[in-house]
Amino acid sequence: MRRIVITGMGAICALGHDAPSVWKAMTEGRCGIGPIHHIQPGQLRNGGIAAEVVDYDPANFFDDARRALLDPFSEYALIAANEAIRQSGIRFEGEAGARTAVVIGTGAGGETTRDDLYERLYGEHQGRFHPLGIVRMMMNAPASQVSMVHGITGPAFVVASACASSNHAFAQAAMMIRSGMVDAAVVGGTEACITLGTLRAWEAMRVLAPDTCRPFSKGRRGLVLGEGAAMYVIETLESAQKRGAEIICELVGTGMSSDAGDIAAPSDIGAAAAMNMALRDGGLSPQDVDYVNAHGTGTVANDSTETRAIHRVFGEHAREMLISSTKSMHGHALGAGGALELVAAIGAIHDGIIPPTINYLEPDPACDLDYVPNVAREKKVDAAISNSFAFGGLNAVVAVRRMA
């Protein structure tokens, strides 16, 4: 089997505009959740909080011609992809471009463009739309933009499976590399879902927290939406070694499952199945895993269900592992969530620091593991998994390991 390594990483979210800044904020336990800047007070019932990308001006990253083509979810994907490609040093001339894939996860697509267009149509009763509306909001836009900017002519597409989209994208990219279809992939996830329409729809489900995100804590009151992107360059070990690239870590396994149950309620059996598959795929035993970056949304049902699933998979070792949810800092970025959270799993392996679950108040008997409450902890990590579990019962897990 072809071994797959990660040679580049980029990110932008509420915690920073590049991967090192995001990782530093995670280790410091910095909270990116706050009042929403571009929605008027009183338009939302939950107090109007989210984890927005702040102090961001697209003009600092794109010229006017490019910006006209981009919804924010494509902007974020390009910013993160550009960073990952620069770090990797990979080039796409000639055959290399045809032997590289672009696979990006997103759950919502171009919500900012869509929201603006519908406001003009239904709110302002204007009959004319911007002629680039479709190419801005279509789900495949970020994959197309990354491929065009970098001259990548191999397979390029978007995976949409709600909150599991990024991790499903990793699985698809890894399978293509292992099969020999491609030698490398630019892969990750992106989301820009902080719009009035999206937030009002989430409010209607009664799962948004009115105060902040407190995963696994007693007194947690729901999730907080976030936005941003994280992108990676993954390639065969042989390709990286031939280029003399610096290897960040090894992507050893992915696991996917479907609950085939309730459209919204999570299943510990389905979640456990995806974790077990990721371990088998990566040749890992449960005892090999030192850290779990949990899905950890902060809802009562999700966190207790995920805890039961971890017990199912890891048995007694579950009490020896460290587990945390970085959604407490960067919010729930839906389709970009798994990609952003892989920053934490990789950082834990690279630096030996477990980012905390912040905003934690006190233990919940239904969540009885070590969630690294409030303060980061030092621990040598050789292998980690990152969980993503989506509405619709769609589960995807990524396993990474220190490069031997």
Handedness of CA 244, 247, 250, 256 (dihedral sign): negative
Task: Report d(CA 21, CA 65) in Å as an integer.
Answer: 28
Could you tell me the two tokens for 60?
């600092």
Contact 103, 20 (CB under 8 A): no
Asked: is 4-243 a CATH 1.10.3260.10 domain? The reply is no
Residue 9 has pLDDT above 80, yes or no: yes
In the block, tokens 């995976």 appear at 159
For range 256-261, the mean pLDDT: 98
Q: Which residues are CB-neighbours of 200 under 8 A, at least 6 positions away?
A: 44
- Assess whether pLDDT exceeds 80 at residue 127: no
- Rounded to the nearest 5 percent, the helix, strand and coil shares of the chain are 40, 25, 40
Total Cβ atoms within 10 A of residue 64: 8
pLDDT more than 90, % of the chain: 94
Q: Which residues of 308-318 are buried (b: 16+ CB within 10 A; e: fewer)?
A: bbbbbbbeebb
pLDDT tens track for 202-224: 999 999 999 999 999 999 999 99
The total of other beta-carbon atoms located within 10 Å of residue 132's CB is: 13
Q: For residue 367, indicate whether it is catalytic.
A: no
Is 266 strand, coil or helix? Answer: coil
pLDDT tens digit sequence for 236-255: 999 999 999 999 999 999 99
Q: Which two tokens stand for residue 320?
A: 């020896």
Distance in angstroms (rounded) separating the CA atoms of residues 18 and 36: 21
What is the mean pLDDT of the segment spanning 34-39? 91
**Residue from 17, 168, 330, 332 carrying the catalytic annotation:** 332
Q: CB of 357 within 8 A of CB of 212?
A: no
Residue 289: phi and psi, rounded to 5, are: -85, 125
Residue 41, pLDDT score: 73
State yes or no: pLDDT of 38 exceeds 90. Answer: no
- The CATH architecture of the domain made up of 254-401 is 3-Layer(aba) Sandwich (3.40)
Note the helical H segments in 10-129. Answer: 19-28, 64-67, 72-88, 95-98, 111-118
Domain 4-243 identical in fold to domain 254-401: yes
Which residue type occupies 149? V
- Which candidate in 13, 31, 163, 213 is catalytic? 163
| 46 has a pLDDT exceeding 80 | no
Give residue-wise pLDDT tens across range 149-202: 999 999 999 999 999 999 999 999 999 999 999 999 999 999 999 999 999 999
Catalytic residue, chosen from 168, 295, 330, 367, is 295
- Residue 140 is encoded by which pair of tokens? 């495949």
CA angle 15, 213, 254 (to 5 degrees): 70
Scanning 110-195, the segments in alpha helix (DSSP H) are: 111-118, 133-137, 141-150, 165-179
pLDDT at 42: 82
What are the structure tokens assigned to 372, written together? 């690294």
Residues 6+ apart with CB under 8 A from 327: 213, 215, 223, 224, 226, 295, 296, 297, 298, 337, 341
Establish whether 332 is a catalytic residue: yes
Domain ranges of the chain: 4-243, 254-401
pLDDT at res. 262: 97
How far the first Cα of the chain sits from its last, in Å, is 16
CA pair distance 394, 97, nearest whole angstrom: 32
29-38, 77-86, 120-129, 371-380: which range is least confident on average?
A: 120-129
- Residue 16: pLDDT band (50, 70, 90) is very high
Contact in structure between 136 and 70 (CB atoms under 8 Å): yes
pLDDT of residue 137: 97
Percentage of the chain lying above the pLDDT 70 cut = 100
For the sheet containing 249-258, what is the strand order? 156-159, 100-105, 184-191, 228-236, 4-13, 249-258, 394-401, 383-390, 291-293, 322-324
- With b for 16 or more beta-carbon neighbours within 10 A and e for fewer, the 319-352 pattern comes to eebbbbbbbbbbbbbbbbbbbbbbbbbbbbbeee
> Is 330 tagged catalytic?
no
CB atoms within 10 A of CB 20: 15
Mean pLDDT of the chain: 97
- Do the Cβ atoms of 387 and 294 come closer than 8 Å? yes
Q: How far apart are CA 197 and CA 120, in angstroms?
A: 13
